[in-house]
Structures are given as structure tokens and as C-alpha cells.
Amino acid sequence: MSILKLPHARPATILFDWHATLVDTRDAMYHAVDDVLPKLVEMGLVERLVPAEDSRTVEDARLVKYVRDNARLHPKIKSERKVSRTDIFEVLFGEDHEAKRMAHLEFDRCYRRHVGEAVPLEAGIPEMLDGLRGLNMGVGLISNRKREFMEKEVANVSGEDWRPFFDTMVCGDDVPHRKPWPDLLLMALQNMGVKPDTSCWYVGDSTTDVIAAKEAKVTAIFYNGAGWNQNWIDKIFPGTVRHPHKPDAVINHFYELTELVNRFLKDYAPTAISSPG
């Protein structure tokens, strides 16, 4: 297990990101992003791309340059399937929140043509979610995706309806600001009657998930399903004044999440949850 440090509090509530955390929505997301990028010129967003000197990493600057020059994603990004739509827009537009809002709205329009069946990212995820609920733990789902799409995807994960696993689901168009703002997490906790503190764990696969968790004052668990090495994790979470947010723990597989939960609950719960896989 790649633990940066143990979470500070045992979990009472766990919130999960959706795409690239619990499920793979196949290539639909990348198809929609590639539909958006050629429209940046007509949307007036090319001139609002982050300047190279303001990029967080050299790799981020290269991504911006490739999009500026080619109006599409580099094939390697799509083949590796490691970077989320939200992180792509964060890299492209940085602190320009209006540009990101416009990009997300156009993404929603484009994604409608590609939305389809979701598949679990790992075996045993339904059993894990059911086990968490069996411990009387609140379980919520959040996503920057539009509710129209989330309702379809959550109800059809390899033909199974996953909606009963979650006490609440909050989507990108339910709140004023999407991740990395904390609005999604705060609304989910409000729906569940829970105050935001470190006893809420949020599990997500992107830097924006970690930022949103930290801004909401909850525990950030980074799901490294993409298999980044430790050098890359240190690079994307540098802990600098400009980029201060770091996850409280890093997991590579969901059995590591259940190990973390069991470690905290063993003195409080008569039965531990079983690990996926």
C-alpha cells in the first residue's frame, strides 16, 4: 500500500468519485473532450489557455501546447486513459474559472452523443460498497458529470443497477461550482445530515478530487488506479505554496481501502468488511 500518511480519523462516511474511480466509462469521455477541443477557437478559449510558464509541470505545458497546435488530445493520453476530463480542463485553463465553466458546458453537450454503459474498474466493488453500508457507514457518490448522464450510468454498470449502494448522488449541474471547488462534497454531506470533517473520507483519482476534499475539510484518499509511480505522485502533489494540497493516503487498489477502513474500525465493529478481488 502506498500510504503517504494515515488518515487522521476513522471513517463514518465515505464519498466516491465515479469515472476512473469506481467505473470505466470506456472511451466516451475522451471522445467528448475531442469534440470540444476543435471548438475552442470559436468559443474564444484558445487565447485563455494557460501560458507555458504558468503550468504546474513540464508535462502540463506540453499538453497545453499540443492542444493549442492540434485542437485535440495527444493519442498517448487517450491510449493510456489515465487523465480525467476535469484534470484536462484544469491543466488547460488553470485559474480561469469562467473558461473552465464554458468548457464543461460544451463537454456536456458533446457527451450526450457518447454516453453508454459503465463497467467496474475492479472486481468486487459492489461487494465492497455493500459491506460499507453493512457497517452503517454513509456512502455517497459525486461526479462533475451532468445528472442526466449519471442517472443512466449508475443504473447500468455492466447491466446492474448500482443506485441502491449510495445514500446520495450529487452531480456537476446540482451545484454552482464543480470540482475542484468543494460544492459537490458539501452538498452530499448536507444531504446525508453530516458535518464536513476528517471522519468523512473522499476517494477520487485526480488532483482535482484531492483539492476538493481538502477545500471541504475532509480526508482525501487518492485512488491511484492509473498506476502512477511515486515520483509522479510527488510531482502532481508538490505541497508548494501554489499547489499545497496533498492526499492523506494513496491506494492503488480497493482492497487497500478496505484494509484502511478495517484498521480504523477493528476496535469498534464486530465484523470487518471483505476486500474486493
Q: What is the pLDDT of residue 27?
A: 82
The CATH number of the domain covering residues in 13-25+117-265: 3.40.50.1000
* Residue 242 vs residue 146, higher pLDDT: 146
**Burial class, 57, CB count within 10 angstroms (exposed 0-12 / middle 13-18 / buried 19+):** middle
Q: What is the pLDDT of residue 263?
A: 85
State pLDDT tens for residues 188-223: 999 999 999 999 999 999 999 999 999 999 999 999
State pLDDT tens for residues 48-60: 999 989 998 899 9
Confidence of residue 267 (pLDDT cuts 50, 70, 90): low
Mean pLDDT taken over the chain: 90
Q: What is the pLDDT of residue 268?
A: 45
In the chain, what percentage of residues exceed pLDDT 70?
A: 94
> So where are the chain's domains?
13-25+117-265, 28-111
Total-model pTM: 0.85
* Residue 117 vs residue 94, higher pLDDT: 94
Confidence of residue 4 (pLDDT cuts 50, 70, 90): very low
